[in-house]
Amino acid sequence: MTTRNGVGGNIQLSRQTGTLGTFAAKVQRIAGDASLATIYAGTQCMSADSKPFAGKQVTFSVSINAGANFSAAGGVLTLAIINGIGNDQNMFSGGFTGANVVASQNVVLTSGVQRFSVSGLVPSNATQLGFQLYYTPTGVAGADDSFTWQQMQLDVGTSAQAYRPVPLAVELERCAYFFERKFNQGINTSCGMSQNKGASSGIWNLRYAMKRVTPTITVSGGTHFKVQDATASNSDPMATITPTFISLDQTYIDFTTSGGLLGAGSAGSVLGNNANCFVDVNARM
């Protein structure tokens, strides 16, 4: 996640190929940006994962390198451990209840990847932990006013332990607990089954990985999907899409089509009808 004091934009977060592992995250100030508002990045743990650290000394460590035009004075970036006393809150959007800085540390970035850490004592009443990386830019942003971070880790104790790699399949499963984007492979990709209620309407049953809470469902567009009848002889683009039931692992989506080509009571297949079709299933904090 990223945010910026008093500014709505001119920064971007992107996934990069990691130099130490599979992936890294890059925060970049858009070239030409003249705002000097502080730029923040970071993440937070769920309350269930944070509470075991209450009352304990912890160390947060992360590997970071600067972009060619990183503009912080002296190349300084700040690491911070934050705690709150609420439940599953977003540190940047809405903020932590009772937000408190457990510890912070200024570090000097270079173009090479370096490992940094910060340690502190978590209050005994803490119910959520977050981790921030931030800097205040200077001047006008160049082509690569950025920093990239990877291999974040939290340890109990006063010093960082060696990074413990997590298998990619496990990481992806953990990510899907909060968010997944389905069916963004393009036209004619299989997107599940439907039960057609009439010539121009039906129900699309969409399953996904178990989510943290009941998710929000966002569809790229009605016409981005089409329904094919059981014989594969007719296909009809969807006109409207309305999720009517949403649970932790599936949703039922009512749809209408524009051509009236479906058979009432028959099963159908939902296919991609646009190169940019997707369904976002969002249970992030």
pLDDT at 265: 74
**Which fold does the domain 179-282 belong to in CATH?**
Elongation Factor Tu (Ef-tu); domain 3 (2.40.30)
Averaged over successive runs of 10 residues, the pLDDT of the chain (285 residues) comes to: 58 89 90 94 96 98 98 98 97 94 98 97 98 97 97 97 92 94 85 86 92 95 84 79 94 88 79 92 95
pLDDT at 214: 97
pLDDT at 231: 67
Fold agreement between 2-165 and 179-282 = no
Structural class in CATH, domain 2-165: mainly beta
pLDDT at 197: 85
Distance CA 33, CA 29 (A): 7
pLDDT at 199: 83
Tokens (6 digits) for 80: 């911070």
Say if residues 62 and 152 touch (Cβ distance below 8 Å).
Answer: yes
Distance CA 52, CA 58 (A): 11
Ranges of each domain in the chain: 2-165, 179-282
Q: What is the pTM of this model?
A: 0.87
pLDDT at 205: 92
Distance CA 185, CA 10 (A): 29
